[in-house]
Amino acid sequence: MSYIVNEAVRLILQEDEMDLSAFSERAHEPVLSYEALLADLKEHGKLYRLGQEVYPRAIRGSPTVRL
């Protein structure tokens, strides 16, 4: 039983290490505000507005998800 727990912990820590590595690699990238991100997604047709709510574009019949 302890082998299974140790293996699970090892895998979780390995994922954390990968996340931290990716974060470090991307630290030099410019910061993009939420508003700028939404504007960019809308400009490229990835989002559309229905009333006052913003929805992602459906991809191959996937359901529309409310943001």
pLDDT for the residue numbered 56: 65
pLDDT for the residue numbered 18: 94
pLDDT for the residue numbered 67: 44
The stretches in the chain having pLDDT less than 50 are: 65-67
What is the identity of the amino acid at 60? R
Query: Is residue 53 within 8 Å of 65, Cβ to Cβ?
Result: no
Q: How many domains are contained in the chain? A: 2
pLDDT for the residue numbered 59: 55
pLDDT for the residue numbered 65: 46
Rg of the chain over all Cα atoms, to the nearest angstrom: 19
DSSP state of 21: H
Regarding whether 1 and 23 lie in a shared domain, the answer is: yes
Regarding whether 52 and 39 lie in a shared domain, the answer is: yes
Regarding whether 42 and 14 lie in a shared domain, the answer is: no
pLDDT for the residue numbered 12: 94
What is the identity of the amino acid at 26? R
Domain extent for 42: 31-67
